[in-house]
Amino acid sequence: MSTILTAFFRYLLPCYLIAALSLLLAAFFWQQHQQQQVLKAQLQQYADTVQLSLQPALGSLNSDQLSQRLAELQFRAVFPVATLALYQADGQLLAVAGAEQPLPAADQLMIFGQRRLQKINGRWLALQAIKSQALPFEQFGSANNLDLQLLIIPEPQPWQWRQHWPVLLALFWLSMLLWLAVLVLRQQKHIQQKQLASIEQQLLAPDAELDNSSSLSPTLHLVLQQHCTQLAELQQQLQISTEQAAQAADETAHWQALHSAKLQRQQQQRQCVNRWLLQAQLLWQRQEQLSPALFSALLNLQQHYARYQFGSVETQPESLQLASWLQQALPALNSLLPDGSSLDWLEGSDNLTATLSIDPEQLFLLLQAMLALGLRSEAGRRLQFRVVLDCSAPTTLRLQLNCDGNGLPRHLSRQLAEGKLTDLQWRDADIALLQLLSQKVQAECKVESLDGLGLSLNVNWPLSCEPLASENLPGNVLLFDADPERLSERLAALSGYTLQLSSCNSLSELQQRLVEQSYQLLILMLPGQIPGAEWQRFLQQLAMPFVAYAPPLSFNQWQQLVPCRPSAEFCLAAVPQLFNEATRFSRKKLLVVDDNETNQAFINVLIQQRLVELYAAHSAEQALSMCQQMQFDLILLDIQLPDLPGTEVAKQLRQMQDYCDIPILAFTAHALPAEIAAFKSAGMNDIVLKPLDPCKFDALLSSYRLY
């Protein structure tokens, strides 16, 4: 029964509330309407009374008398009147009684029109037209008929609760009804909470539900099961909705974070662009403070920094041999050196025996940035740049620049340690590009700068490489370098070539080696001091092919003694070219005079790995003709030729001025003592027996310094 009453109450309560509110509003507006009607009637009646009282005396009273008359009429009014005023037809005030301020303006009186009552500024006003004869005083004009307007403004009436008792009564019953509704709803909520607690207890205790199910009616038990099922479904839907809401919130937060990060990156990029433009402008303004080569390098670094930082530059790796590439890049890199500074390029043997996949532009920019930064070392004059490819796993390109002096200034060391690009100045394009490229190619960059110990820049760049066959250089090379550490590194690097290599680091040892053995090429890394008398005598007596490199500090003094090149131009890839240029003019010429083709072919096989130019003649006439045309260093002469004996050919050769001292060897199958004496008397120096013994033949040619 209570459930039915509760449902009935819930159904009727909104209807009753709407009806009560409607009644309350109707009573309020009806009460207001009644008051307005009473006020209108009073104003109309009073306006007629004032008109009847004033109309007969209008022609005989002046303004003050009219004002006094209006004050008497205001006092005798049956309801409170605030103001009485007379206006002429043009809106000019003629007389007033009561409060003169505020009075309606002339334009406000025009809105009355044909109506006698009007509400202005929340107050009712009455306007009554009065017609009379013209007044005798001048200010009213000379018209025969004078039209006047009488304005009546009543006092505002205070609110009286007795006059609004229907509204108050309706408000009281409405408050009681609301209080009753609150009680009923609170009771219903309490009942629902008890029911929900009971259902929750039954859901949490299934055994108790089975035990107590007998006490419930079948209908209630079925309803309870349905509610339990719906509750489970709702809980599942709630869980799904909660998970979806959490996922949506996470996605929203993620996208917001991405958007915020994007905006922050764009703002930072704009700041970087503005900073870059300012630094570029300052670099152009300070162009005169730099050498042309250094200015071009910094400008190149700054432009490529902008490309890599603000643009989308794709890496374009190429397969190249590091030694050959470095030889082509050396002129541009060496141009950065100022006067009075020396630079040595040191390489590894893998630079010759492997090809690596790398972007040549990035490699050049990295070397250029490191070299430009190394030149900023305080009091630094000597630099060593190691470009070493290490093919041991993992393959790494090791770039190391060492410079003497006091190292970098402190603010540069701090900027390199902190890695902040915002503090860089117009001269710091080398630092900016070095840090940017190191991050782009995932290279490890390490800077060590100490006062008195100089500067060390190290970049380890992980790469991939492929093995390459080493180049064969037939010959014996002697390398001289007064610096033992640099000599050992260059020896290890030159091991990438297949050649006979010797070394020494003192002048006395160099002279001794040249006496003991013959070399096809001598590479001289001249010392940094000014050449002394001993060096001058050695270079003047040096008759073998050589290539000399001198440091910049003493380059002019060495250049006056021998033709030499700057030490910064030496690199591994230049050695084959130097070797070929030196041996092109020092290759000895061997003439073999024999009509046997087999002997000619065998000798060709024996000396094909030697730096010897082989010439063949098959007759005496051909041999004599060739000797007249060119100079040979050794002649191997067969004794039994088809046209002339070998001894006769030797005699004719000795009569030639160019062959007085040239060694001539008798090539024969037998040599008796009498024959040996004939060979000696004909001018032959030695005997080579047939068939040839390779070891004896090689020793014989070496003894005559043919190679």
Give per-residue pLDDT as tens, 212-229.
444 556 776 777 778 778
- Whether the upstream peptide bond of residue 545 has omega within 30° of 0, thus cis, is no
The more confident residue out of 76 and 348 is 348
Q: Order of strands across the sheet with 472-481?
A: 498-504, 472-481, 521-525, 546-550, 565-566
pLDDT at 451: 79
Nearest to 429 by CA among 559, 313, 309, 280: 280
CA–CA separation, 616 and 610 (whole Å): 16
Residue 329: is its pLDDT beyond 90?
yes
Q: How confident is the model at residue 103 (pLDDT cuts 50, 70, 90)?
A: low
Give me the mean pLDDT over the 364-373 stretch. 94
- Please tell me the number of Cα atoms within 13 Å of 185 on its side-chain side: 10
Mean pLDDT of 21-30: 74
pLDDT of residue 110: 58
Non-local (6+) Cβ contacts of 454 within 8 A are 377, 380, 402, 403, 404, 405, 406, 407
Q: Mean per-residue pLDDT for 68-84? A: 77
Count other Cβ atoms within 10 Å, centred on residue 380. Answer: 19
* Average confidence score pLDDT of the chain: 81
More confident residue, 598 or 520: 598
Residue 149's DSSP bridge partners are 87, 129
Q: Which of 23-27, 88-92, 145-149, 675-679 has the lowest mean pLDDT?
A: 145-149
Return the beta strands (E) in 99-195 as ranges. Answer: 117-120, 123-133, 145-154
402: Cβ–Cβ under 8 A, 6 or more apart, which residues?
383, 384, 386, 454, 455, 456
Q: Which of 507, 506, 503, 504 is nearest to 495 (CA)?
A: 503
Sequence-distant (6+) residues with CB within 8 A of 438 are 366, 444, 445, 459
Answer for the pair 413, 378: CB distance below 8 angstroms, yes or no: no
C-beta atoms surrounding 269 within 10 Å: 12
pLDDT higher than 80, residue 207:
no
Task: Provide the 10 A C-beta neighbour count for residue 161.
Answer: 8
Report the percent of the chain where pLDDT is more than 70.
83
How many residues are there in the chain? 707
Q: Is residue 704 over pLDDT 50?
A: yes
Q: Which helix (H) or strand (E) is 501 found in, with range? A: strand 498-504
CA distance 20 to 175: 10
Q: What is the average per-residue pLDDT within 35-52? A: 76
pLDDT-wise least confident of 67-76, 268-277, 402-411 = 67-76
CA of residue 168 relative to chain centroid, distance: 77
Mean pLDDT for the stretch of residues 616-632 = 91
CB atoms within 10 A of CB 659: 19
Q: Is residue 412 scored above 80 in pLDDT?
A: yes
